[in-house]
Amino acid sequence: MVLFTNNIKPMSNAEYRKHAEDAYNEKVRLAEAENQKSELEYHNYMLEKNQAFHDLLEERADRVKGFKKREEWFKSVKDAFVIEAVWKIYEGSCTPDILADKELRRMARNTVAKFVFEHGGANLLRDWKTKNLILSELARICNNAYDKVVEGAQTCGPDNYTAALDKTIEDDFFSQLNDVDTADASKLIQGRVSDAIEDFLTTNASAKMDYEEIFKGAEDIKSGLESQDAMEEATFNARRKVEYMRLTREKNVFHCMVEALAKNCIKDKKLSSKYIKEGTLDMDGIVNGAQILYTMLEVANTTYMIDVDETSLENYIKSLN
């Protein structure tokens, strides 16, 4: 029903149809302009995807030795397809600062690859078939691409099976992958990651104020003391109270991951060279690293890629120590 005020003259049926058609055409035009990539953008998109895809396969191939090389290569191809499927959701869930930084982006892709290697591409595809619409569609695209590679290998020589992965299969795979609508899932994941980081920063700032208040109180007590032993005891009590509060206060999963990563930086020489600068922990870098790991956790949890329970969370955090 259309309601008109007394000051507005109703449109005729012909005028109304014309108005509706114009509005619809404009809506379609805007949608096409928004969704359609230019030829150059799409070309660059395909180049980036294909390069990352081949880099992954070459890295895996270098590790394969002996008579199992053929079957390991096919396994690597399947894993590579799955990695790109997971990256599709992960990339949309990342904040622009992570994606814009070359090193952070590399860390993010390695995190996705590690997830697929640990759980197995074949295992993930099998489970995704019955999980939900997004995962079942991603599984279909990955399996179809893999089946084409296997079929193509039958016409290649026994030592030329890698030729089965031709550019046509890759382009078709990435084209279909690009058409899967994962925007809503990625938006939800990004929101959850953002909330976790905000909660971490807020509780950290509040705790810092509490700690400063405790030490200030200790200094006030010490100002009325004459004995050096008494002053040291006041300082010791303040530190003990702060440590107790630090250990017992509630922390979200992201907070626990930040702490675990910070502890690991002290023990791991590779991480310490990356996150310790002039003897001081680079907390911004550690928070970025934790964000990359936590985003993968939320991707897996929110989309039901794997079952994430309390035990698996504890084990995951322990693995960072």
Q: pLDDT by residue (tens digit) across 110-157?
A: 999 999 999 999 999 999 999 999 999 999 999 999 998 888 777 766
Domain ranges of the chain: 43-60+68-181, 185-318
Which among 111, 98, 115, 105 has a CA at the least distance from the CA of 48? 105
Residue labelled with tokens 């058409």? 179
Which tens digit of pLDDT belongs to each residue from 193-235?
999 999 988 888 888 887 788 888 888 787 877 778 888 888 8
Which tens digit of pLDDT belongs to each residue from 38-83?
544 544 555 565 566 666 666 655 554 444 577 787 888 899 999 9
pLDDT band at 1 (very low <50, low <70, confident <90, very high): very low
pLDDT band at 85 (very low <50, low <70, confident <90, very high): very high
Average pLDDT, the chain: 79
Helix (H, G, I), strand (E, B) or coil at 280: strand
Q: pTM of the entire structure? A: 0.73
> Sign of the C-alpha dihedral, residues 313, 319, 320, 321?
positive
C-alpha distance from residue 286 to each of 32, 45, 162, 195, 261 (Å): 41, 30, 39, 18, 7
pLDDT of residue 53: 65
